[in-house]
A and B are shown apart, each in its own frame.
Chain A
């Protein structure tokens, strides 16, 4: 069994404290040094941010596709709810550090390891929300659809899927925000994402870098959430406020 620390040690190699260079602020390791952020934006922070976005997008995209497929199957074959739900719940309970360690022997210190874990954590929320959304069409609506001669497929495509959007988007928001937070832990396995500068800085207790990368992760989560809210509004014009003329 590899010790949890081995991954980043193996990847990162020996770390040399770097507050020797740069401004007084940096040398004295004050709380926050804007000049360090300026100097290291394009070399450290920006690439880490881009990698972080990539890690998150891939994880949520795969998680979404898997959850949608599972939810559609469950919607059609109800008995699948227990096994699917239980699987997603069990995966969710595995601590991320342990999950990485379980996966490293199989998939190595690779992006795959990270993504498998991140995807795993999105399943429970996405699966449950999409399923709840698919079930949100009221009995009257379904009866009207049937009575007017919509086939099962037409009912799914024209009625149930659109009505599942609000619950699905709520699930996506939680999944995206929690994946952005969780993806910082990916630095245990690979030198990518906003977690990597945080890890390096933690070992030197370098305040500015920790703070800058941490704040970037938070801002990223807020921006992503806001974008999803806008997307939801665009996709669900019917749920906007009740305008009565």
Chain B
């Protein structure tokens, strides 16, 4: 560690290569990035033809964003998220060599004001209950029942199994499928539902 240790007003220590605390990265990711998922999904759907790859693309974008945030948390999450997504799409097109002619739509035509503080955060906080209810309503019936019994009524796996007349493993399957679908609908809204096996 150097002898001179100064702080600037942004609160970031001026140590080169200093790593961000994992809890900071998590807080940032949950508060700033996840609320942008609907926008990200819109971007991916607009610009990528193969819908089967969208979930993988989203995952890749998030992984890259987290990787970058470990070193320094980006100032403008919206701009950063879209830039990351755009680079990934371009990489993927190059990597695939054979470029499907309309794999990538005009990336520049997307009209998103990147630097303005968006209404997403407050809109989400404001509508949490309404949107959660809507998301829950959209779950496949069995997954919905299992999720409600677990999260709302607080029943154990065994109690849910008894009530639904299925094995505990099946309850597990319903709940995990419900969790994933809930996240897709709640954050992304546009995502398709996964039916439980």
Q: Do A and B bind?
A: no
